[in-house]
A and B are shown apart, each in its own frame.
Chain A
C-alpha cells in the first residue's frame, strides 16, 4: 500500500512533465500549420500575420519546450520505475517548476513581439532580456532533473555494490550527462547575452555568441535522438516480444554519444567568416564519427527484430517484418520514426560535409532535414511512447487506441510529403526562415512554389495528426476509468548483463572525457576568434 502511494506520487511528477510537453506540441502545431500556408503563393497571409513571431514561437515550442519536457518526464519515469524506493520528489517538481516558469517568461516575450529572434536568437538581434532569462531558467530546470537522475544512479550504486545500473536508467542518465556538457555552451552564451540585453555591457562579440550557440545547438539534436534511443532499446522490444540485442553494445552506444555529440557544432558554421577551414574540416570528421553509434543502433534493432522472430518460429525477412506489431500505436510510432531516420541520416551526411553544405546551407532543405529527424524518429517515437506511458501513469486504458494508431500513420505520410518537398525546394534554392519566397515573381523563385504548396499540405496532415494525439492524451484523462495496472517493465538483454566490461559501467568519467574532447575541438576556433576581437555589436531590433 505504501509502495502504491509512492508510485502515484511519482506518477504525478511525470504527468506534469509529459502533459506540459503535450501542451507544447499542441500549441507548436497551431503555429506551425499557419507558417506552412503563409509561405505558399496560393495562400498569401493577411497583413497582420507576423510570420517571424509565429516562427519563433513554433521553433521554441517544438525544439526547446516539447522535446525537453518529454525527455525530462521520460528520464524521471524510467528512473523511478527501474529503481523503486522511498524517495522525496522535491527535485522532480522543482525542475518542472523552473522549466515551466522559464518557458512562460520566454513565451510571453515572444507573444508580445519583444523576442522575434527565432529559436537561434542570433546576436546582434536583441530580444527582451526576459526572453534570455526565461530560456536560461528552462535549461537550469533540466539540470535539476539531471541531478535527480544522477542522485538515483548514485543511490543504486551504493545500495547494490558491484551491480550494473539498470540499462534503462544508464541510458537515461547518459542522455543527461551529455546534456549537461552540451548546455554549458548555451549557459555561457546567456552569460554574455543577458547583461548585454539589460544594457549593462555596450556590445557583444557576434561570432563568439554563434560559436557558443552551436556548441550547444548540435548536441541538442543528439539529446533528442538519445531520448528516442532510450525508448528504442528499452521499451520497444517488449512490444514484439524481443530483447535488448546486447547490454554492452547499448551502453557503448550511449557512451559514444556522450563523447561525440559535442565536438561537432562548427558544421553549422561552414559558410561563416572568422573560422579557418582547418577547424571546419575537423568538425566534419567528428560529425561523421557520431554516425557510428547510430550504425550500432540500426544493427541492434534489426537483430532484435530477427531474434524475436526466430524465438516465435518465424524465419526469413518477410515473415520477420510481417510478424512485427504494426497495429500497436507504440510500436508503429517508433518503427515509422526509424524509417524516417534513414532519410534524415542521408541528408545529415550532406549537411555535415565541409564542401557539399554550400549547396544546401540555409535553404529549406535544412528545414526538411531537421523535420525528418526531430519530427521523425524523435517526435514520432515520443508520441508512440506516450501511448505506452499514459496508461501506466494514470491507470486508465488508452482512449481510442485506433485513433492513436491512425495518428502515427498520418504523421508518417504527412512528414514524408512535407520533408521531401522541402528537401527538393531547397535544392532548387528556396531559402529557409523567409515569410514570402516569391521575390516579386522573379524567374528562379517560380520553380519553388509547387513544392511550398506540397509542404503546406504535408504540414496540414501533421497538424491533424497532432490534434489526434492531443485527443487521445486528453481523452484518456477525461473518458476512461482507472482500471489498468501501472507496472512498467523494460526490455532485458538477450546476453547476460555480466558480459559487459566494467569500463562501460561508468558515466561521469566518460562525461569528464567528453568535456575534454569538446574543449579540444573548440580550443582552436575559439582561440582564433578571441585573437580577432574586433567589433562589438550593440543590440538591434529590426522587427
Chain B
C-alpha cells in the first residue's frame, strides 16, 4: 500500500505532537507531582457520622499555614457549610458521600473531585488570594442539586 510522502509528513507531525503533549503531562505528573485525586481509603457511608474524622466535619490545623478540612456531602448540602481559613493557607480537602455520588468543585482553584459513597477522596490547594470561594456539587444528585453549595472564606 502506497502512503503519499505528504501524508507521512503529516502523520509524523501529528504523532510527534501527541508524544510531546504526553511528555508534558508525564513531566507534570512525575516531576511536579500534578496528579488527579485517586484516594483508595474506604468508609461505610451509613456510619459516616460515627467514623473519625468525618464524625466532626470541618478544619484541623496541621501546621503554621496548613489545614486539613473534612467534608461530608449528602443530599443536598455540604458539612461544613462555611470554612474559614487565613490567606496563604494550604488546605488538604477530604470528602466522602453519605448517600449518592456528589461532586466537590471550587471554581478558580485546583479542587475538582468526585465524592463517591464508600470512598474518601482528597486534593489540596493553597488559597493565596483572600475572598469568598464557592464550593459546589457538580454531579447531578437529585431534585435539589442546584441548591447544594457551601462557602470558603479566605481572609
Contact = CB atoms under 8 A, between A and B. Distances in A.
* A and B are partners in one complex rather than unrelated chains: yes
Interface stretch (A77-85, A371-379, A425-433): A425-433
A435 B113 contact: no
Interface residues on B, range: 35 or more
Contact of A362 (B103, B120, B142, B146): B103
A277 B36 contact: yes
Contact of A537 (B11, B38, B117, B151): B117
B10 A280 contact: no
A288 B22 contact: yes
Contacts of A362: 103, 105, 112, 138-139
A121 B83 CA distance: 32
A271 B34 contact: no
A52 B116 contact: no
B18 to A, nearest CB: 5
B27 to A, nearest CB: 10
Interface in A247-275: 248-249, 269-275
A271 B146 contact: no
A354 B140 contact: no
A501 B19 CA distance: 28
A499 B2 contact: yes
B141 interface: yes
A387 to B, nearest CB: 31
B32 to A, nearest CB: 9
Interface string B108-123: 1010111011111100
A271 B37 contact: yes
B140 A52 contact: yes
- Of B100, B110, B140, B144, most buried by chain A (CB within 10 Å of CB) is B140
Contact of B42 (A355, A443, A532): A532
Contacts of B131: 443
B145 interface: yes
A354 B25 contact: yes
A245 to B, nearest CB: 9
Given A355-B28, A355-B35, A292 B14 contact: yes
Task: Name which of A124, A272, A280 has the most chain B CB atoms within 10 A of its CB.
Answer: A272
Contact of A355 (B36, B75, B113, B121): B36
13 contacts: A206-B116, A206-B118, A292-B14, A292-B18, A295-B10, A303-B6, A355-B29, A359-B112, A429-B134, A437-B146, A442-B149, A444-B132, A543-B143
Given A206-B118, A272-B113, A434-B138, 8 more contacts: A271-B37, A284-B25, A289-B18, A355-B25, A363-B138, A429-B134, A542-B75, A542-B143
